[in-house]
Amino acid sequence: MSSLEVPGLDVSSRVRARDIQMAAVADVRRRVIMVSGAVDTPGHAISASINLPETGRWQVIKSETNLTDQTWVAVQVTTDEDSQLINDADTMTVSRQFAKSFMTPDGRRITFYEGEVRPGESLLKVYSIETTSRRPTYYYQYQPASDQNVEQLIADGLPAQPVIELIIPVTIIG
């Protein structure tokens, strides 16, 4: 008998991810931070704080698995006030699952769209940031498939949602 079958021990409504944690590795020499984990909370934005070994420019490679019951048709990343997304010819900004991306002129928000991530599938995003903080915070939102105009959501930003905060542990290498 699993703990979920014992009366009073059902934690399914309180536990974020049962066996999967978000974790990161920062390669100081290459200035790359790799983050992986899972999202199992539909209808919430994720506020993720990462303890970096140094401020400055970092390439972010982020992979997460969609453990919700919704298909995502757009994913938005918003930086905190101490960070900015980089948009130049030398910077790779891409998602394997989405064909297009839109970055606001102020470099505070990027939205990946024109694709989908179904329940159980993984999402990969690559982008770069410049931060003056050793503990930047990023907000991730996932737009489920709906009748809403995705292009309008991209231009205006995804609607505000309740936020779940995560502090992602970082292993330093390099």
Specify the 3-state DSSP secondary structure of 102: strand
pLDDT, one tens digit per residue, over 109-150 is: 999 999 999 999 999 999 999 999 999 999 999 999 887 788
Torsion sign, CA atoms 111, 112, 114, 116: negative
- pTM for the whole structure: 0.84
